[in-house]
Amino acid sequence: MHSHSHDLEAITAEIAAEMAQAADRGRVADYIPALGSISPAHFGMAIVLADGSIHVAGDAEVPFSIQSISKVFSLTMALGSVGDAIWQRVGREPSGSAFNSIIVCDMLLGRYEPREAIGDLLRFVRALADDSDIVIDEHVARGEAETGFRNFALANYMAAFGNIHHPVERTLGLYFHQCAIAMSCRQLALSGRYLMAGGRNPVTGRSVVSPQRARRINALMLTCGHYDGSGEFAFRVGLPGKSGVGGGILAIAPGVASIAVWSPGLNERGNSQLGTLALERLVQKTGWSIFDPA
């Protein structure tokens, strides 16, 4: 992976200009009105380098619903509280269904009341980004709860097999709220710094997770981070990444950069159409793919 410096200002501006011109922007998720009403014209990108410098382009300061990207943070928190026992209940193989994340929420409830658990997750994300303005979009959370029939079905199904240990409504309440965290590309890229830096916050030097756990989270992001499009993403982009149906993607170039992109239009696999393309362009221009020889 090349670490020599590139003119990232020029590269991000160039990518944003190309994305602004793109005709095929994918389809915005519309299973809840709060997501369906967002314009597919948006595109934002933020890159935080290991030296702390930040490069942004487009709508990098506009908050959006991070949805499944929140699973990276709840998994990190659960590893902190449960440790590697988590792998006895959560699989490591990619699957078309994203229900393992509900189990992670259930594990967090082992330590907290639902309101405390979401409060702690929000505090954790704010601390990672060093930004106390990050909030939960209650409008989105309500919409999730009103339409989450499949999640209720899956959670009840898992409860029947003994893999949900708390009342399903409480576990899902936490899950819907974590998905409704709203962040901008800048905030999201800052939050991912510990995964770029071997589990440490590079600014404070404080450890968030051990280097081994950071590596494992990155490995899971690479193999499972994009639903059924994970192989395609590894093929085209070659970075650990986690997408959400709000159109965001957090991608990590280990040792080099934490990158967040956002464009609400999704491809047929439920990942940001232009976000994926932008990351592909970025890697082509920088050589940051983990599969590129240094």
Percent of the chain at pLDDT exceeding 90: 84
Banded pLDDT at 294 (limits 50, 70, 90): low
Element (H, E) at 223: helix 211-224
| 219 phi/psi in degrees, rounded to 5 | -65, -45
Average pLDDT over residues 234-246: 97
Banded pLDDT at 95 (limits 50, 70, 90): low
Banded pLDDT at 97 (limits 50, 70, 90): low
Average pLDDT over residues 262-291: 97
Which residue ranges make up each domain of the chain?
A: 8-286
Average pLDDT over residues 4-29: 92
pLDDT reading at 1 higher than 60: no
Cβ neighbours of residue 166 under 8 Å, at least 6 residues apart? Answer: 106, 109, 110
Element (H, E) at 44: strand 44-49
Active site residues: 68, 71, 175, 227, 245
**Cα dihedral value 273, 61, 287, 10, nearest 10:** 110
Banded pLDDT at 204 (limits 50, 70, 90): confident
pTM > 0.85: yes
List the end-to-end C-alpha distance of the chain, in Å, as a whole number.
4
Banded pLDDT at 4 (limits 50, 70, 90): very low
Q: What is the pLDDT of residue 261?
A: 98
Distance CA 15, CA 270 (A): 22
Minimum mean pLDDT among 74-78, 98-102, 225-229: which range? 98-102
Distance CA 37, CA 216 (A): 36
Q: What is the pLDDT of residue 209?
A: 96
Minimum mean pLDDT among 146-150, 252-256, 257-261: which range? 146-150
Banded pLDDT at 76 (limits 50, 70, 90): very high
Distance CA 33, CA 10 (A): 36
pLDDT reading at 2 higher than 80: no
Task: Write down the CATH superfamily of domain 8-286.
Answer: DD-peptidase/beta-lactamase superfamily (3.40.710.10)
Average pLDDT over residues 71-100: 83
pLDDT reading at 195 higher than 70: yes
